[in-house]
Structure formats: structure tokens, C-alpha cells
Structure 1
Amino acid sequence: MNDYQAKFVTPEQAVKAVQSGDWVDYGFGAGFPELLDKALAARKGEVKDVKVRGGLVIRPRIEVVEADPEQESFSYYSWHVGDYERKLQKNGLVKFMPVMLRSLPYLYRDKHIRCDVAFVPVSKPDENGYCGLGISNYAWRTIFESARTVIFEINEHYPKLQGVDGSHRVHLSEADYIVEGEHEPLPVRSYRAPSETDIAIAKIVVNEIPDGAVLSLGVGGVPYTVAKMLAESDKKDLGCHTGTISDAFLELYQAGKLTNAHKELDTGLSAWNLAMGSQELYDWLDAEPQLFHPGDLDYIHSVERISKFSNVISINGGVQLDLMGQENAESTGTRQLSGVGGQMDFLEGAYRSKGGKGFICINSSRLTKDGERKSNILATIPGGSTISAPRTMIQYVATEYGIASLSGKTLRERAEAMASIAHPDFREELMKYARENFK
């Protein structure tokens, strides 16, 4: 450790590496360079046109944005709009960049985009100078290997797991500067109580999940409800290969359902890229590192790797679908709500998996603030809204009224299947559109 003492500096000293015009990467998800962010924000007025890149931020603030709403020194870019970023977006303080997560490492590796300074959040080092990547592996190694300057921020609260064969670790020697200090408690994400509709959808989907299935669960209400039902079911030997590990998987483990026993790869291990949930989840990762294979986007989101598992079950939510099966998962008109994230990666992986199934789970309808019922299954996705997944990638759609299986169907058959799981108030109208437009 004495070999690296010269690299330890204050956050204020470290951020002097940022120059006007630089791109600075903050990372993704619940992992966040808290001390460096605050120190960089204090340089408002000293630098110009510094572009900060991150995504899916769930902590309550980003200091460079809060300190500079006029964007005189800093502008913020997001790969995936999180809850906090959504609030900033209303004030024009977030610039959204669409990306499929599996393609993101290529953008850095092949120099389509650049990172000048990487703010990498890491766990406390061990006696050999190795740190874990905490709760966000992301594509950090690819990013910082392309950067001009690499700054590690040691967070004393992070789980210290380093992954299978070092899949989740970095070494102090790889940093140009290292900062440490006192951090706030880790950001947590909780789930609202499931609605009656969530429960109805989850019951339908649970019946489609076999013993030994390898689960990829999104972070919404329906995926979490599915996990709770699986935990209370007679299903056994379930597996995990997922973009985000959450309390859904912790519940399965505590119920004795998550064994990973039948996975063709990473047998016995839960594989993930991000961790996001309760403090209990983070404590689990820290206490039992031998249960996990945290990996980077190249590993976890690889369609080829996902397809090597049997019975991959991918469960995600959506915003709207049309009668052809096109899905909008991330916007209301031109207003960005989230991002496509890894949904396409796991939909395609499940499609290729022997016995695999990819589900888009959606409430058939919603009520507006004025109490008017609107269908979430539409004749066409409205202009300006995103097509997150094309019709060719949607395998199964589940609402509280059943499951539409779309594979191998004509446009007319697809439309009829989609209309059959719409809210009854809209079925006849949708069927009429199908008859008139899909001959």
C-alpha cells in the first residue's frame, strides 16, 4: 500500500485534472462519485464546457447540475433517465443519449466517443491494493482504459466483493489519483406495494416459468411481484443472469429458490452488472461474495452468452405497445422517461435460449388525472414516442387479461392477439382497426 500513497490526494486536488472542454464519466446506477462530484461543482466559473456523462442516478442530487443550472461550466448527459434525472429534465438540465447497453463498450473502445477523465467509484482496497467496483461494474474497465486521467473514489460503504477471477476488481496502480473520505449512506431503491393489476399479471407470468429457469428481472413492480410469488411457490433451482440484481433476487435466495444449480455457465452463481435496492441487498453482496459473478456489460449483456443458458426468462415492463407488437418502453411523446437499458439485450437472449421466453408486462390501461381511461395497447405508437423494441423482437406480451404470443404470426394475427389482451373497453375498436388495416 505504501507504493501508492503518492496517488492519494484531496478531491479538490484531483478534480484539477478536469480541463475546459473535457468529457467526464460518472458511471451508471447506484454507484456514484459523491466526493469528486462535489469538488468539481466547486470549480464552477473556472472551467467551461465540461460535459458530465452518467445515467440511472437514484441518489437525491448531482452537484455539478445543482450548482450550475445556467450550464455556464457544466452540462449533464444521461444514457438512461433515472428518477432524479427525470426531475432535472423538466428544467432542461439533462441531455439524453439513446443506447443499447450491450453496445456501449464499443462506443468507447472504438473511439466513437471519448472519455477524458473517469471518476471511478470503488470499494476499500485489500492488503494487496485491489478494490472492488462496489455496486456498479458497468463498463468501467473499458471506459477508464480509454481515458486520459483515471481517478478512483474509495467509498467505505461499498460491498468489497471482487468477482470471479477478478471480474469486479481494479488495482490502485491503475489510477492516476485516488481520493477517500466520508460518504453518505448508499442510495436505496424501494418498491411500491403491487396493485391488483400487477398481481394479476404476475400470476399469469409465474405459470410460464419452469423449474431451473434463469431469470432476468427488470426493476419495476411486476418483476418484483413475480419474484415474491416465485418465492412462495413450489418452483425450485432458479438462476440469475440479469442486468440489475435487486431485492427480488434476495427474496428468492432467502426462500431457498435461487440456487443457480442448472445454469450451463456460472453454475451456482448469480451473475449481474449493477446492484440496486435496499441496504440489506448490499449487505448480502458483501457478506457472501462466493454466491455472485458480477461482470461488465460485455459479459452480462452479451446476447451470445445469454443464449447459452436454457430456459432464460426475461421480464420487463413497458409504456405502450401497438397492434403489430412494437413497444415503447421509455417515453411519453418526446419526453424521455427512462431508457431502453438492457431490455433489447435480454429479449434477444431469451429468444435464442432453448426454452427461453421474453415477456413485456404492461397494464392494459391507465387512468388519467381526470379519471379518463386510456388504453396502453394502441393501434399505432403515437408520433414522437420511442420505438424501444421492434415488432420482430417481441415474443410475449402479458396484461392482466392474458398473454399474447406473437412469434410466427402474421400482422393480422398479431393484431388480433394484442387486441384480445387489451382492456375490454377498447377491444372492439382495436379489432376494427385490425380488420381494416391488416388484410
Structure 2
Amino acid sequence: MNGKQTRFVTPETAVQAVRSGDWVDYGFGAGFPELLDRALAARKGQVRDVKIRGGLVIRPRIEVVESDPEQESFSYYSWHIGDYERKLQTRGLVRFLPVMLRSLPTLYRERYIRCDVAFVPVSRPDADGCCGLGISNYAWRTILESARTVIFEINERYPRLQGVDGSHRVRLSEADYVVEGEHEPLPERTYREPGETDAAIARRVVELIPDEAVLSLGVGGVPYTVAQMLARSDRRDLGCHTGTISDPFLELYQAGKLTNARKELDAGRSAWNLAMGSQRLYDWLDAEPERFHPGDLDYIHSVERISRLSNVISINGGVQLDLMGQENAESAGARQLSGIGGQMDFLEGAYRSRGGKGFICIHSSRLDKEGRRRSNIVAAIPSGSTVSAPRTMIQYVATEYGVVCLSGKTLRERAEAMASIAHPDFREELARSAAENFR
């Protein structure tokens, strides 16, 4: 930062700090600097080659992208393709940056990448001039220390929690400029009612979750259904240490299941990096801040820290798995669908946790555009597709037809196990491939 006294200015004044050739960080997830984004978009034609980084954006519009489809002034880079960014991608307006989230702070600290200007969304300040990081702790602390210019955008709608020992706190004095104004309602991520396949997978996984489990739930139908079933179960004293806290955890809390009472770390508190869900979720964070430890990527995604917790249960989805257990979690051929995010972090953490289990949950098959059934368990990950997690990191795989543990199995045993939980239409073909390739 440039050391100037913090100044409250208009968004239009603040974005004058952005120069041609700069890298500008927008953050990650549901937190988004909408006033600064709009003001920067208005500078189209005044600057060139400004590169914006973000990821997993769930609001319906990024103004710098929409206002400049020719990319004369701005280009947009994403760490993790969200639903809206996927639509931009089909128009050639997103450039994907592969990253394992636990390694992202190192990229900034060691100057593999740079941030010239940070647009940091924060909550309303308290009487001491301290703000919370709202719904996206991300790696903001690390980014603030490396940026040339820091601009805070106060969002009056954010939850005001500041975290354990200030883990979610920034001071107005840390910013070069501060902007404020009226914001749109916070973006919400909703869940559809689970289908029969999601419910069948979830039932099998829930059977393997013990009392006092510490949950890391990905965002999707199966994790949500698992949480609903746990809320109605006889499980006791469940905990939360997760990349993204979402409505499933709120449901567990309301059912009296989420107490965090038995965690070796952060006892009594749910630990998370991002918040993404309904307004009810955001209201919960605001009303009961003492129940949470919002931490940065270095804290939440640390494999060493996760592994110090007992009975860590990591539940994530995938796109495809092959007979060896290699997982494609993020692409259809060369087309990027999402990103690896923190999946590897929590898979490894669960593997190393005493009593821990890492689950990849996947529908055994899908229907293509022509209505033909395709297997999501394949003989080999197709050429061009991503191998998101290696076979050595996959512990449990669940489909609607069963759950298999791949740990300690030979290639032949893995292949036979994977074929056994495939859709019946493909089992014979997959078993034949296993016999031919893994002797």
C-alpha cells in the first residue's frame, strides 16, 4: 500500500487508482465489489489491458466483462468457474486459472502472481473502525499485504462478524480508499429438491457417518441431501470445518445436531472460509457470530490442521471416475466446468484424520442431449479431460448402487470395485475392461 491516510471517496474516484496493465483482485464466491465493478466498467476506453481476477461468482453480472465483450480494456480471469462464469465462458470472456485453494496464498506471498489493486468487500465498520470480511474471507489478508493499492467497499448488507481473535477483521486504516453506497440484496444460492438418485447416494453415505463427525460439505445436491438426512437421524454432536458454509449446516444446527462440541480445534464453533446460501444463512452469521470461526485459506484449507481433527467427513461431487479411481471433478473434455477448489485439501485432510473418510459422490450415469445413457464411471478418463484428483487420493466412491473403499486395493481390485457400483447397463463392459487391462 502507498501509506496515504485512508480516504472515503466515491467509487468513481477510487477506481482512478487502476492503471493500464494492472491486475485487479475482486475476491471469491458470493462476496463481490459491485460498486467498484460498475465504476471501473465506466472507464472502458480510458485504460487498456486491465486484468481482473475472481472466481465462483454467483451474482448475475460482472460489469467490466459485460460492458467490454471486445476486451479492449478489460479481461477476466477465474480461479473457479461458477454458473454465471460458465455462460461467459461460452462467449470466450473467461480465462481459467487452475489452482488448489490451499496453495493460492503462496502464489501471492512468493510473487508468482501480483495484485496491483485489491477491491475488498467488507461489512459496516464498528465504533473502532473495524470491519468484517462479510461472506468471503478468502486470502484477503495475504493479498492486502502484497497489493499496491487497497480499496474497501462497505456493503451494508453483509453479516458483521469479525471472527475469533479478529480472524475475519480488517481495519479501515489498512485501506488507501474506502467507498460506500447502496447495494443489491446479497446473491443467494438455492437448492433444488433432491431427486431419487441423490437420495439413494446420500442414504448410503449417511450410514458411514459416525457421531461427532466433523463435516466438510461441498455445494451440491448430494451434500445437501446428506445434511437433511443427518438432521433427521440420531447422530449427535456433529461439527463443521469446511471450505464453504451453506444452508445444510444451518439445517443441522436448527435440528440440534451441529454442536461442534467434540472438535479438537475450534470447539463450539463452525470453521469456514466462504459463506454461500440463502439470506437466512447470512442472517444466522450476523445474529450469532460467537458460533463461528471464519478463517482464511491458510487456516481452513490447511491439510495439517484438518488432519488434527478426528472423524473428518469430506463429501464432494465429481464428473467422472475411471476404473483406477482417478477423478475428473471439473471438465467436459477440454471445456472447464468449475474448478478443483478445496476438494484436494479436504480429501487429503480426511484421509489423514483419525476415523476420517473422504467421499466422491457421483451419479452412475447421465443422459446426453440425444437421450442416450452414458456412464460416469469409465474405463479411462478421456483424453483432454482433467484428472482433478489422482487415484492415490480417492478413498471412498459412492453411487446410487453402492459405496466402495479403494484404499489399499490393487489396480485389479479397484477396477472390479468401481465396475460393481456402475449403472447395470455398463457393468459387463467395465468388468471386461478391468480383466483385460489389470491382470
Same fold (TM over 0.5): yes
Deviation readout 1:215-260 (Å, 9 max, x if unpaired): 0000010000000000001101000000000000000000000000
Deviation readout 1:18-45 (Å, 9 max, x if unpaired): 0000000000000000000000000000
**Residue 68 (structure 2) pairs with residue 68 (structure 1):** yes
Q: CA deviation at 1:10?
A: 0.2
Deviation readout 1:76-102 (Å, 9 max, x if unpaired): 000000010000000000000000000
Looking at structure 2, the residues matched to 171 and 364 of structure 1 have their Cα atoms a distance apart, in angstroms, of 49
- Partner of 1:133 in structure 2? 133
**Residue 10 (structure 2) pairs with residue 19 (structure 1):** no
**Residue 425 (structure 2) pairs with residue 429 (structure 1):** no
Deviation readout 1:367-405 (Å, 9 max, x if unpaired): 112211000000000011000000000000000010111
Code of the residue aligned with 2:37 in structure 1: it is D
Looking at structure 1, the residues matched to 111 and 248 of structure 2 have their Cα atoms a distance apart, in angstroms, of 37
SS of structure 2 residue aligned to 1:229: helix
SS of structure 1 residue aligned to 2:274: strand
After TM superposition, the structure 1 = structure 2 runs for residues 44-83 of structure 1, keeping only pairs within 5 Å, are 44-83=44-83
Looking at structure 2, the residues matched to 175 and 240 of structure 1 have their Cα atoms a distance apart, in angstroms, of 32
Looking at structure 2, the residues matched to 166 and 360 of structure 1 have their Cα atoms a distance apart, in angstroms, of 34
Q: Percent identity?
A: 83
Q: 1:5 to 1:157 in 2, by over 3 A?
A: farther
After TM superposition, the structure 1 = structure 2 runs for residues 105-120 of structure 1, keeping only pairs within 5 Å, are 105-120=105-120
- Partner of 2:392 in structure 1? 392
Looking at structure 2, the residues matched to 408 and 205 of structure 1 have their Cα atoms a distance apart, in angstroms, of 20
Looking at structure 2, the residues matched to 5 and 174 of structure 1 have their Cα atoms a distance apart, in angstroms, of 9
Looking at structure 1, the residues matched to 374 and 237 of structure 2 have their Cα atoms a distance apart, in angstroms, of 40
Looking at structure 2, the residues matched to 403 and 97 of structure 1 have their Cα atoms a distance apart, in angstroms, of 33
- Partner of 1:402 in structure 2? 402
Deviation readout 1:257-305 (Å, 9 max, x if unpaired): 0000110000000000000000000000000000000000000000000
**Residue 301 (structure 2) pairs with residue 301 (structure 1):** yes
Code of the residue aligned with 1:135 in structure 2: it is I
Code of the residue aligned with 1:322 in structure 2: it is D
Looking at structure 1, the residues matched to 291 and 5 of structure 2 have their Cα atoms a distance apart, in angstroms, of 33
Q: 1:159 to 1:416 in 2, by over 3 A?
A: same
Looking at structure 2, the residues matched to 48 and 371 of structure 1 have their Cα atoms a distance apart, in angstroms, of 46
Code of the residue aligned with 2:264 in structure 1: it is E
**Residue 30 (structure 2) pairs with residue 30 (structure 1):** yes
SS of structure 2 residue aligned to 1:228: helix
- Partner of 1:104 in structure 2? 104
Code of the residue aligned with 1:415 in structure 2: it is A
Code of the residue aligned with 1:340 in structure 2: it is I
Code of the residue aligned with 1:392 in structure 2: it is T
**Residue 215 (structure 2) pairs with residue 221 (structure 1):** no
SS of structure 2 residue aligned to 1:225: helix
Q: CA deviation at 1:193?
A: 1.2
After TM superposition, the structure 1 = structure 2 runs for residues 88-103 of structure 1, keeping only pairs within 5 Å, are 88-103=88-103
After TM superposition, the structure 1 = structure 2 runs for residues 118-267 of structure 1, keeping only pairs within 5 Å, are 118-267=118-267
- TM-score normalised by length of structure 2: 0.99
Q: CA deviation at 1:198?
A: 0.2
Q: Is the 8 A contact 2:6 2:175 kept in 1?
A: no
Q: Is the 8 A contact 2:6 2:176 kept in 1?
A: no
Q: CA deviation at 1:5?
A: 8.9
Looking at structure 1, the residues matched to 88 and 389 of structure 2 have their Cα atoms a distance apart, in angstroms, of 26
Looking at structure 1, the residues matched to 261 and 302 of structure 2 have their Cα atoms a distance apart, in angstroms, of 21
Looking at structure 1, the residues matched to 368 and 48 of structure 2 have their Cα atoms a distance apart, in angstroms, of 43
Q: CA deviation at 1:192?
A: 1.2
Q: CA deviation at 1:196?
A: 0.3
What is the count of residue pairs matched by the alignment?
A: 436
Q: CA deviation at 1:144?
A: 1.3
Code of the residue aligned with 2:291 in structure 1: it is L
SS of structure 2 residue aligned to 1:13: helix
- TM-score normalised by length of structure 1: 0.99
Instruction: Provide runs of 4+ in structure 1 moved above 3 Å.
Output: none
Q: 1:6 to 1:110 in 2, by over 3 A?
A: closer
Q: Is the 8 A contact 2:131 2:169 kept in 1?
A: yes
Looking at structure 2, the residues matched to 139 and 6 of structure 1 have their Cα atoms a distance apart, in angstroms, of 22
Looking at structure 1, the residues matched to 57 and 379 of structure 2 have their Cα atoms a distance apart, in angstroms, of 34
Looking at structure 1, the residues matched to 309 and 332 of structure 2 have their Cα atoms a distance apart, in angstroms, of 35
Deviation readout 1:89-121 (Å, 9 max, x if unpaired): 000000000000000000000100000000000
Q: CA deviation at 1:6?
A: 5.8
Q: 1:6 to 1:166 in 2, by over 3 A?
A: closer
SS of structure 2 residue aligned to 1:201: helix
Code of the residue aligned with 1:215 in structure 2: it is L
SS of structure 1 residue aligned to 2:115: coil
SS of structure 1 residue aligned to 2:51: strand
Unaligned runs of 5+ in 1: none
Q: CA RMSD in A?
A: 0.8
Looking at structure 2, the residues matched to 72 and 87 of structure 1 have their Cα atoms a distance apart, in angstroms, of 20
- Partner of 2:8 in structure 1? 8
- Partner of 1:329 in structure 2? 329
Looking at structure 1, the residues matched to 220 and 188 of structure 2 have their Cα atoms a distance apart, in angstroms, of 14
SS of structure 1 residue aligned to 2:285: helix
Unaligned runs of 5+ in 2: none
Q: Is the 8 A contact 2:6 2:174 kept in 1?
A: no
Looking at structure 1, the residues matched to 105 and 69 of structure 2 have their Cα atoms a distance apart, in angstroms, of 30
